[in-house]
Amino acid sequence: MNTGELVAWVRDARERTIELVADLTDEQLMGPKLAVINPFLWEIGHVAWFQEKWVLRGAAGQRPLRADGDSLYDSAAIPHDTRWDLPLPSREGTLAYMRAVRDRVIGRIEQGKPGDKELYFIRLSVFHEDMHTEAFTYTRQTLAYPSPTFSINGERAWQAHVTRAAQRGGPFPGDAEIPGGRFLLGALPGEPFVFDNEKWAHPIDVKPFAIARAAVTQAEFAAFVEDQGYQRRELWSKEGWRWRESAAAEHPVYWKREGSGRWLRRDFNCWVALEPHRPVLHVNWWEAEAYCRWAGRRLPNEAEWEVAASAEPAAGGGLAQVKHRFPWGDDPPTPDRANLGWRALGTVDVSKCAEGDSAFGCRQMIGNVWEWTSSDFGPYPGFVIDPYKEYSQPWFGTHKVLRGGAWTTQPRLLRNTWRNFYPPHRRDVWAGFRTCRSI
């Protein structure tokens, strides 16, 4: 990566953060105290503090820009529930701090000062901010705030959303049959940057299986709801049923039934008719598990998901000794391959983005909606913790793995080996799923 590209990444990440909160009032910047979100005013300051801590202070040895930064923004030390009560700077003071950190980092890059260690942490800080901007977007959805109103390549994001929504694609049914064989699960050495939970590729044996060519759609999930799926105890695991009862869940969290018998879905602050061929989203792991049991299917484990996304069939049977960075190959994502980076400001029909198919014919394995897998989040063999110790290890054993990315995910963040992770009760995030079966 050259200097210009890295500077563009730093600028773009900070610009997207600022755009995602620019239209909010001071009251909205704080919002209500909820377990699944942070106050915006705290979180935007946190992403700048993280960049300052790891790049400017840690790698470059500079003095803090704010003497109180650690006491305000260190997420590892500050209990979640206290973040609304901190003496946070004003909006203007926070934005000034964010811009000052950004400009110092860019100055380091343009002066040619960063060594390999500092370059690593610059990339880390950009990717960390990318993950938070995705969280800013689902926080706006959680709080029923208006849809974001930023521009992408000169086009208003909402205009892009309307244009994409008008281009209906329809369903994409059927399974892809995947042969069994030996497969290298995880990131290969040579990647410019990977997180510690992806390291490193290690051989596993995969049995033959079939996986849906597309994620479960809203129409398919509505059939489960209409068939009393949320009321049938036999479809739920013990833990899932306990969650369902405690949450009083009877359908996906942002759905409601219209008087005419149709389902509506809340899209930020608007209620829209359910789009039948878009993937279901905002369902948690237990809801996905119950649907699979109802459908006579199961969730793929993360190894099966990665095989379907990155492997190829061998000419004589089994799996070829090849592994692609993306489902379509090794070239970076483009709009015709994957719905990423807020371009459509929402999901698209599951048959769209045909240019992004994997070698086995699976569609949208990158982009559109994160996909739950059956796998518990844990370390790969030989796991060694990276300098950012709080990223992976604290969540081993309590979270489930998701793969693939969503419409809110920045393209630069993703590859087939990228592992997202959430606890199984979370249904506020941009998550759906695809199903599979053994053969």
Q: pLDDT tens digits for 150-162? A: 766 555 554 455 4
pLDDT tens per residue, the chain (439 residues)? 789 999 999 999 999 999 999 999 999 999 999 999 999 999 999 999 999 999 999 999 999 999 999 999 999 999 999 999 999 999 999 999 999 999 999 999 999 878 899 999 999 999 999 999 999 999 999 999 999 887 665 555 544 554 555 456 899 999 999 999 999 999 999 899 999 999 999 999 999 999 999 999 999 999 999 999 999 999 999 999 999 999 999 999 999 999 877 999 999 999 999 999 999 999 999 999 999 999 999 999 999 999 999 999 999 999 999 999 999 999 999 999 999 999 888 999 999 999 999 999 999 999 999 999 999 999 999 999 999 999 999 999 999 999 999 999 999 999 999 999 999 999 999 999 999 999 9
The count of other CB atoms within 10 Å of the CB of residue 34 is 15
pLDDT of residue 206: 98
HSE-CB at 389 with a 13 A cutoff on CA atoms is: 2
pLDDT of residue 93: 98
Task: State the angle between helix axes of 116-142 and 3-19 in degrees (0 to 180), rounded to the nearest 10.
Answer: 20
pLDDT of residue 259: 81
Q: Are 208 and 180 in contact (CB under 8 A)?
A: yes
What CA–CA distance (Å, rounded) separates 46 from 25? 19
Kindly give the residue spans of alpha helices, DSSP state H, lying in 75-234. 91-110, 116-142, 157-166, 218-226
pLDDT of residue 260: 79
Helix (H) or strand (E) holding 8: helix 3-19
Going along the chain from its start, the domains and CATH numbers come out as 3-145 (1.20.120), 148-439 (3.90.1580.10)
pLDDT of residue 403: 98
